[in-house]
Amino acid sequence: MPDSSAVAARAATALSKEQRVALFAQVPNTPGAPKPDATLVVDGVSRTFGGLKAVDVAHLEIQRGCITGLIGPNGAGKTTLFNLLTGFDRPDTGTWSMDGQPLGKMHPHQVARKGVVRTFQLTKALSKLTVLDNVRLGATGQRGERILSTLLPWTWKAQERQITERAYELLARFKLDAKADDLAGSLSGGQRKLLEMARALMTDPAVVMLDEPMAGVNPALTQSLLGHIKSLRDDGMTVVFVEHDMDVIRDISDWVVVMAQGSVIAESTPEELSNNGAVVDAYLGSHHDQALEFDEDGNPVGATAELAEALEQAEAEELEAGGDLSEPEFVAPDLAAGPGKHAKEEDEK
């Protein structure tokens, strides 16, 4: 169990906004860029499913005490990378470490004991257990310690009491304490995300990896979730989080890492993301700024031809449905859907 002095010591290391900006000012916008004070360092990690290279990360450094946003299209390998780094899956190749200590070949609870925890894209709350017990389950290495503690009942009783106290503290932090005795199955999607965060924090981790903490959360709760994620940074923790909504990414990330087809293709501050051609092509969508292309006969070619076809088809569908193309609000759906399209789909999942 973390003691409160350790928690306070970490909080004292929390960085101010100015300090965080200064840290990244010297970091080049290149994939695998070295960080001034990296905590997690990943080297040559790859994972293949069948013939598909789901993850192929040559080098990645995560800056301590900051929020790193991890973005990329569906299937880019974000979740698989989280699974590998936290011991839920095994890579084909590669090594990674936290503060110089290797984390490979470990089980998830061993990785957690070293200080790295994660939450899941699809929440893993055990619906038949109470909210309190779900959080208590986050305590480190309970299984291994059980064997010893059955021999020494007085030690486990004290430990159980500490675990329960810490669980209540965390439930209060996430405003779930009134629901401690309810079954986790009765919580809303957003409350389950909070429950998962509470459980992840039981071991007072140094690094928290959140896989789409906002997905499926009622918009009314997203602001409070965002606040909670920022509060982890205020406690001196390092946060890596996957998110599709670019407004959220811009709001809370100190640094953004972009994955596509398994690899890191770009890194930068959130402000500089849209200056990066590779990111725009792979993720943010390039239709809008792209020059239109025609052949000598004036027929559209390449991406322009695709756009023209989409427009034609949308017009035909609109006419078939009895619509009127002279209406000024008619916009072909493919053209209207900008970079925000993806985020909306995620919300509805």
Residue window 100-129: x/- pattern of binding to Mg ion, with contact defined by CB under 5 A? ---------------------x--------
- Rounded-to-integer distance, Cα 128 and Cα 122, Å: 17
Which of 65, 72 has the CB closer to ligand ATP?
Answer: 72
233 binds, among Mg ion, ligand ATP, none (CB under 5 to 8 A by kind): none
- Rounded-to-integer distance, Cα 9 and Cα 12, Å: 5
Cβ proximity of 238 and 207 under 8 Å: yes
Could you say which of 39, 46, 68, 80 contacts ligand ATP (CB under 6 A)?
80
| Token pair of 102 as six digits | 């290797």
80 binds, among ligand ATP, Mg ion, none (CB under 5 to 8 A by kind): ligand ATP
Q: Decide if residue 75 touches ligand ATP (CB under 6 A).
A: yes
Could you say which of 65, 72, 87, 115 contacts ligand ATP (CB under 6 A)?
72
| Token pair of 260 as six digits | 């596509």
Judged on CB neighbours under 10 Å (0-12, 13-18, 19+), 308 is middle
Question: Rounded to 5 degrees, what angle do the CA atoms 216, 222, 223 make?
Answer: 175
Within 10 Å of residue 69's Cβ, how many Cβ atoms? 23
Which residue(s) pair with 43 in the sheet?
59, 95
For Mg ion, which stretch binds (CB under 5 A), given 70-78, 202-210, 226-234, 250-258? 70-78
Diameter of the chain measured on Cα atoms: 87
Could you say which of 46, 63, 68, 79 contacts Mg ion (CB under 5 A)?
79
For ligand ATP, which stretch binds (CB under 6 A), given 17-25, 67-75, 178-186, 274-282? 67-75
Please list every residue from 12 through 51 that binds ligand ATP, using CB under 6 A: 49
150 binds, among ligand ATP, Mg ion, none (CB under 5 to 8 A by kind): none
Q: Decide if residue 121 touches ligand ATP (CB under 6 A).
A: yes
Question: By C-alpha distance, which of 272, 240, 237, 264 is closest to 253?
Answer: 240
Could you say which of 23, 76, 132, 202 contacts ligand ATP (CB under 6 A)?
76
Cβ proximity of 72 and 259 under 8 Å: yes
3-state secondary structure of 67: strand
Q: Decide if residue 263 touches ligand ATP (CB under 6 A).
A: no
Q: Decide if residue 54 touches ligand ATP (CB under 6 A).
A: yes
Question: By C-alpha distance, which of 114, 108, 102, 111 is closest to 88?
Answer: 108
- Least distance (Å) between residue 75 CB and ligand ATP: 4
Q: Which positions touch ligand ATP (CB under 6 A)?
A: 49, 52, 54, 72, 74-80, 121
Q: Which positions touch Mg ion (CB under 5 A)?
A: 78-79, 121
